[in-house]
Amino acid sequence: MARWQPETTQRLVVAAVDLFTEQGYDATTVAQIAERAGVTKSTFFRHFADKRELLVAGQETLCRLLTEGIAEAPAGAGPLDAVAAGLERASSALGPANRALGPRLKAAVAASTELQERDALKSVGLAAAMTAALVARGVPELVAQLAAELGVLAFKRGYAQWSEIDRDETTGLAEHALAALNDLRQATTALT
Amino acid sequence: MARWQPETTQRLVVAAVDLFTEQGYDATTVAQIAERAGVTKSTFFRHFADKRELLVAGQETLCRLLTEGIAEAPAGAGPLDAVAAGLERASSALGPANRALGPRLKAAVAASTELQERDALKSVGLAAAMTAALVARGVPELVAQLAAELGVLAFKRGYAQWSEIDRDETTGLAEHALAALNDLRQATTALT
């Protein structure tokens, strides 16, 4: 990817998810996605390695924001408070276009094992990024790994709530993610 | 898969992992795997849908054993104690051949994004099976999901310890998995 061109990237993602939803993931070609987005195939390949990569658009950005938020949490913050700071920072990167895509993305992923696999590895990557950021704060590795897993669960639950369920548009993604993290924190105490 | 033929299945898995290690996952064909295992291609396809499926050989069995162990835990057992019962039951399905494969499997997965994706989705499947079994015991959904995530982490850490690190052969997989679950339980208290 030569340069960051958010408008083209977003147009390609919307075109792809529309086509996945209309005709299925397997039947959709890069040429069709480029045509729908009004760009050439070579422009497509400047933005994405293949059609599957479309679905993890922004993953590097998410990892960076989660890491930054965790790193910049106050020195006295516990692991889950640092994770909360990461979730807040990362939530700021997702806007109305991401929200509108949620339900269609979900349908496309549900219909394709290949996309489920890519999605599962994405979660592993987010957890690894948060674990590393927590370990860098001095959190013991196992505690860091647990806190990161809770962070991934909270982000996914928050995103689902924001984009699929809560259609009244009064609550932001960050609030949903932090509420989910708080629910998970409560559930953790029920475990031990 | 028409019938369960454990010897042929195992021979195919060993042949495949040997070939993945010798020449890489992408360069290995179904025909080569079948030849190495001394069976025909059609025998291969009676056991596995494709070469990637080889790496999740036994996943259905694992899911079934985890579910059974959780379901049959004593009525008063807490979520993590039920998970421990599932891990014990599932550990019984893995023998010396599984242990010997560990390090080579790890190398093959580390070298292939496709295998990492399949592996990540396998973990999602194991967590979903344990979550469902815990919910069936009356555990609240969020607590069940957390306990299941801890179970997956414990099983993976226990398997790594058993197959890659602890080569003195005095400790079984179940003991390693339960020790890992106990470590995670301790780490959970440090979270809250």
Distance, CA of A188 to CA of A182 (rounded, Å): 10
Positive or negative: CA dihedral B92, B97, B101, B103: positive
Distance, CA of A190 to CA of B141 (rounded, Å): 12
pLDDT-derived band at A120 (thresholds 50, 70, 90) equals very high
Chain B neighbors of A188, CB-CB under 8 A: 146, 188, 191-192
Q: Contact B116/A124, CB-based, under 8 Å?
A: yes
3-class DSSP state of B116: helix
CA distances from A124 to A121, A177, A182, B114, B118 (A): 5, 18, 21, 14, 12
pLDDT-derived band at B5 (thresholds 50, 70, 90) equals low
Chain A neighbors of B189, CB-CB under 8 A: 192
pLDDT-derived band at B26 (thresholds 50, 70, 90) equals confident
CA distances from A59 to A26, A90, A146 (A): 22, 10, 21
Distance, CA of B37 to CA of A139 (rounded, Å): 47
Chain pair A-B, CB pairs under 8 angstroms:
84
Chain B's closest residue to A140, CA to CA, is B187
A192: Cα within 13 Å, side-chain hemisphere: 17
Ramachandran sector of residue B171 (left: φ over 0; alpha: ψ -120 to 50; beta: rest):
beta
pLDDT digits 0-9 by tens, B106-151: 888 888 888 888 889 999 999 999 999 999 999 999 999 999 999 9
Q: Does B110 touch chain A (CB under 8 A)?
A: no
What residues of chain B, 152 to 171, have a C-beta less than 8 Å from chain A?
A: 153
Average pLDDT of span B82-103: 90
Residue B178: predicted pLDDT = 96
Beta carbons of B87 and B178 less than 8 angstroms apart: yes
Chain A neighbors of B123, CB-CB under 8 A: 120, 124
Q: Does A77 touch chain B (CB under 8 A)?
A: no
Q: Contact A191/B142, CB-based, under 8 Å?
A: no
Q: Which domains does chain B have, with CATH numbers?
A: 1-56 (1.10.10.60), 58-191 (1.10.357.10)
Residue B164: predicted pLDDT = 81
CA distances from B18 to A162, B14, B27, B36, B119 (A): 46, 6, 12, 9, 18
Beta carbons of B16 and B103 less than 8 angstroms apart: no
pLDDT digits 0-9 by tens, A127-172: 999 999 999 999 999 999 999 999 999 999 999 999 887 666 678 8
pLDDT digits 0-9 by tens, A9-50: 888 988 998 888 888 888 899 999 999 999 999 999 999 999
pLDDT digits 0-9 by tens, B181-192: 999 999 998 887
pLDDT-derived band at B6 (thresholds 50, 70, 90) equals low
Chain A's closest residue to B127, CA to CA, is A120
Which secondary-structure segment (H or E) carries B95? none
The whole-angstrom distance between A123's CA and the closest CA on chain B is: 8
